[in-house]
Amino acid sequence: MTKTLKCISPVDGSVFAERPVVSQKEAEAVIASAKSAQKEWAARPLAERIKLVMAGVAKIGEQNDEIVPELAKMMGRPVRYGGEFGGFNERASHMAKIAEESLKPIIAEESDNFERRIEKEPHGVILVIAPWNYPYMTAINTVAPALIAGNAVILKHATQTLLVGERMASAFAEAGVPAEVFLNLFLDHDTTSHLIAGRNFGFVNFTGSVGGGRAMEIAAAGTFTGLGLELGGKDPGYVMDDADVEAAAETLIDGAMFNSGQCCCGIERIYVHSSKYDAFVKKAVEIVSGYKLGNPLDETTTIGPMANVRFADLVRKQVADAVEQGAKPMIDAGLFPEDDGGAYLAPQILVDVNHDMEVMREESFGPVVGIMKVESDEEAIRLMNDSHYGLTASLWTQDPARAAKLGAQIETGTVFMNRADYLDPALCWTGCKDTGRGGALSEIGYQNLTRPKSYHLKKA
């Protein structure tokens, strides 16, 4: 009996989509054809590859009216927010813009006697394993620059957003990218691990859980396959004594609650200077109390269901455990009668929290945030660093020098000042500690998607 992958819609618990998994033998045949096609693809002029990739991006844009409700049904994001094409296009466009400069050779010497240079060669076939929370934007982070750099790409998408990879590969093929160069495969975990262990890929990019990242490292052990891993997060915000409280609350609470809190760089814990604490909490509660939980296909809904019941159950447990340990919930559950004990989960703000509570230490990935009062920058830095994750940190102050000084002391991949929950494609998207390794986007993204090859040519 053929094994299938099923996308269970969080909207109503029905099976929204189902696809048969590919066997290891079938997958190896597809990868072999991709390896063959990659050579010809890499030989094409860079400008031609850029043009075809951006045509594929545009094709996805043409489908946005279909994609938005499809995403709502697969993972629960409200249709009112219009999908992901803005970020999808921004990231691909930036990587296309910097490609020529980023991929040009590094010239050490060009004289009558010697030609010494470093070329940047594609790895060959790259496996991209993308998550469900922002399925288009997270995938394009690697897909676009990998193809532009001359690699072939195999895309394996999360079961929760089963149709995204299929739609992307089809759109890019329609735009003229050779079908053998960008393929979507429906793979289970075991087959994926066997393919990595079998040295089928020149590089693997994975976005997902810490456990998933460990599985990638175990599968790749001894193969020397390069890995790019963006894993869990517990991103902090710090509101200083000179911060604009209204602006800080608006941005940090949106960063904590948007997409039902299911954001890689979502704000999961907030530290506020005692002089601003009461005003910040008051504004935060006001904002969240105005949300409308409901069916994501309804234009009035501002917060939809979580992508899966088990994700909501984890958040409920973290909140219940915190309350049992003395945390105080600030959001009236009666404001959200749509909370059904399943995927539909009321948002929550917790105060009187501390770092003994799981909700302040482990990834929640849901619509809950804890707020702690602090007395100094030193206390805030200590608490922000008291985590085994490090993706982003959001600092709120009127003083850029102060933000830069504190940022240098924070163990994180990105430091924001007066901003949060945004991925700038001109900067490296990276993390430290259990958040992972490597870096996507920017010039550094191209460095990871190619390998250096040196030429030392003596002319006489």
Under 8 Å between Cβ of 148 and 50: yes
Q: What are phi and psi of 324, to 5 degrees?
A: -65, -30
Angle at 209 between CA 203 and CA 215, to 5 degrees: 55
Q: Which residue has the tokens 């093929």?
A: 173
Burial of 378 (0-12, 13-18, 19+ CB in 10 A): exposed
- How would you classify the pairing of strands 125-130 and 203-207? parallel
Residues marked active site are found at 230, 264
Which amino acid type is present at position 24?
A: Q
C-alpha distances in Å from residue 389, one per residue of 189, 365, 397, 438: 24, 13, 23, 15
Q: What are phi and psi of 78, to 5 degrees?
A: -60, 140
DSSP string, 59-101: HHHHTHHHHHHHHHHHH---GGG--SHHHHHHHHHHHHHHHHH
Residues 74, 161: Cα–Cα separation, whole Å: 6
* Phi then psi dihedrals of residue 241, to 5 deg: -70, -15
Backbone region of residue 433 per phi and psi (left: phi > 0; alpha: psi in -120 to 50; beta: other values) = left
Q: Provide CB contacts within 8 A for 359, sequence distance 6+.
A: 318, 319, 321, 322, 327, 350, 353, 368, 370
Cα gap 174→168, rounded to integer Å? 10
Q: Are 131 and 440 in contact (CB under 8 A)?
A: no
Q: Does the CA dihedral 212-216-219-221 come out positive or negative?
A: negative
- Quick one: CA dihedral 88, 90, 95, 100, positive or negative? positive
Burial 118-130 (b: 16+ CB within 10 A, else e): eebbbbbbbbbbb
